A and B are shown apart, each in its own frame.
Chain A
């Protein structure tokens, strides 16, 4: 059974850093890209970032670029989201998700499995 479990969410002060983890099981983690999304309280879904197989290419949403960094450890089946210089507007539930991708020059991916999410609250 495919499972994704996020962890690391907590209350943190503005300007501080936090690292989230997404631990995968039930599939060969190294065969998949991974992505992070977030959802502010009472709001819609927002893509945060995407890391390809082997970590070769990493893409970020403009709202987090330069502050957030995604990495992966295939030996542990974990994807990470390092969040620096946190702002109050980063308060959200953060989800990791597994993509199903079609490669044809470009890459098109939708997401078939999501974790349960971890809450990050940025507040003084």
Chain B
């Protein structure tokens, strides 16, 4: 099984901050990685797929980089609506998620 290690597990940030979340895979994924945002009581929302492709309708303040085993999600300027939990998901072999990163108000 492919293991996904996401860090940090939580972070505190202020509106306007630049935030970066990292995801490491236990084996090469090429670019088969997606990022999701989840708010309490809601379903996950796709933000990025193929490591760096922005899903239609997702603001360009979200960006993804990486390939192979190391990936990052960056939010360029945090807004109130962005406080949520973020998950990476590998889809190279079946599907596994990182543990999640909760972005909280500082």
Question: Which chain A residues have a beta carbon within 8 Å of chain B's beta carbons?
Answer: 35, 37, 44-47, 50, 59, 61-62, 95, 100, 108-112, 114-117
A110 touches B34 (CB 8 A): yes
Contacts of B44 in A (CB 8 A): 45, 95, 111, 114
A-side interface mostly: strand
Known: A44-B100, A115-B43, A116-B43. A108 touches B92 (CB 8 A): yes
The listed residue with most B CB atoms (<10 A of its CB), out of A45, A59, A111, is A45
Question: CB of B82 within 8 A of chain A?
Answer: no
B89 touches A110 (CB 8 A): yes
A61 CB, min distance to chain B CBs, angstroms:
8
Size band of the interface chain B makes with A = 20 to 34
Question: 5 nearest interchain CB pairs?
Answer: A114-B43, A47-B95, A110-B34, A110-B49, A45-B97
Number of A-B residue pairs, CB cutoff 8 Å, is 50
Contacts of B45 in A (CB 8 A): 114
Contacts of B87 in A (CB 8 A): 44-45
Closest to B30 in A: A108
Considering the chains assembled together, what is the distance between the CA atoms of A37 and B92 in angstroms? 17
Known: A44-B87, A45-B87. A110 touches B46 (CB 8 A): yes
Contacts of A100 in B (CB 8 A): 49
Contacts of B91 in A (CB 8 A): 108-110
A95 touches B97 (CB 8 A): no
B42 touches A116 (CB 8 A): yes
Considering the chains assembled together, what is the distance between the CA atoms of A66 and B95 in angstroms? 19
Contacts of B92 in A (CB 8 A): 108
B99 touches A44 (CB 8 A): yes
